[in-house]
Amino acid sequence: MMELDIGGAFEALVNWLQTNFEPFFDALSAVIGAVISGLEAAFLFPPSYVVIAGFVLLTGWFVSRKTALFTLIGMTLLEEVRVTLWGTEVVVGMDLWVATMQTLALVLTATLLALLIGIPVGIWASKRDAVERAVRPVLDFMQTMPAFVYLIPAVLLFGLGEVPGVIATFIFATPPAVRLTNLGIRQVPADVVEAARAFGSTPRQILLKVELPIALPTILAGVNQTIMLALSMVVIAALIGAGGLGDPVVKGITQLQTDLGFEGGLAIVILAIVLDRLTQGIGAEVGSGETTAPTA
């Protein structure tokens, strides 16, 4: 009797990749690790109040004053502030600033990787129906497969630490970038494209100067969703040593430390709200502009 061993075939594939492409995975791990380390250093080098001020200015400019106030209060709570009241030293905050910046670096690295691959694939799918039909089940698989499953090949191919966490996050967070890029370009009015073509624009000019600018608000919505999905992987990635805000949550679960787990979860919520409102505000700002077809 023949048996179709799907799990065994996948294991054999991972082992084959590990054996034959180890230099490639080592090089990729080094590059991703360098990006994460660079972002962490950039966020942790200036004093925390400088970074907080930057986020407050961005949210105040692109969103609203209320969001800027929330950003100021929320991100200040992530730091540990010591004040003296009536001769008594009072500690305010959760002392999670370093972990928050580590998480932000991991999320931005995974998002950058997802956009570098997802947006070109989305453009390709918008131009070829056959590509869209081929990509759709792959994206469905990437979104519906339990996120824990991605950790297995990521650990086998990249070891423990931040890099496999980024790889697993990248796989889980890429589909919105592909789907919304494809959708945005397909929703560009046909008469605008025809007008650009009538003026002698090349396919490259039509893509870069007409389709992408008009589709940009939809693409930025995909960026927003990619960031949110990447943040949802923070706790899962911490299980394989990715660190960041997932660590206090995992410790709170495994060691029954309710206070630590709640603080870690609250910090993730604050960071998620700030990034969500900021990316939505930038998308709305871009969408309010007018885009015209090239005239020559």
Question: What is the tally of structural domains in the chain?
Answer: 1
Is 174 in contact with 114 (CB distance < 8 Å)?
A: yes
- Digit-by-digit pLDDT tens for the chain (296 residues) are 566 677 778 788 888 888 888 888 889 999 999 999 999 999 999 988 899 999 999 999 998 899 999 999 999 888 876 666 666 656 667 888 999 999 999 999 999 999 999 999 999 999 999 999 999 999 988 888 887 887 888 888 888 888 998 998 998 899 999 999 999 999 998 888 888 888 888 888 888 888 888 899 899 999 999 999 999 888 888 888 888 888 888 888 888 888 888 988 999 999 999 999 998 888 887 767 644 443 33
| 155 within domain boundaries | yes
| 83 within domain boundaries | yes
46 phi-psi bin (left φ>0, alpha ψ -120 to 50, beta other) = beta
Residue 85 has what DSSP assignment?
E
| 240 within domain boundaries | yes
| 1 within domain boundaries | no
Is 158 in contact with 168 (CB distance < 8 Å)?
A: no
| 29 within domain boundaries | yes
Q: Residue 255 CA to chain centroid, in angstroms?
A: 29
| 210 within domain boundaries | yes
- Closest residue by Cα to residue 176 from 131, 103, 115: 115
pTM here is 0.87
| 296 within domain boundaries | no
Q: Which domain holds residue 57?
A: 7-287
| 275 within domain boundaries | yes
Residues ≥6 apart with Cβ < 8 Å to 159: 29
Domain CATH for 117: 1.10.3720.10
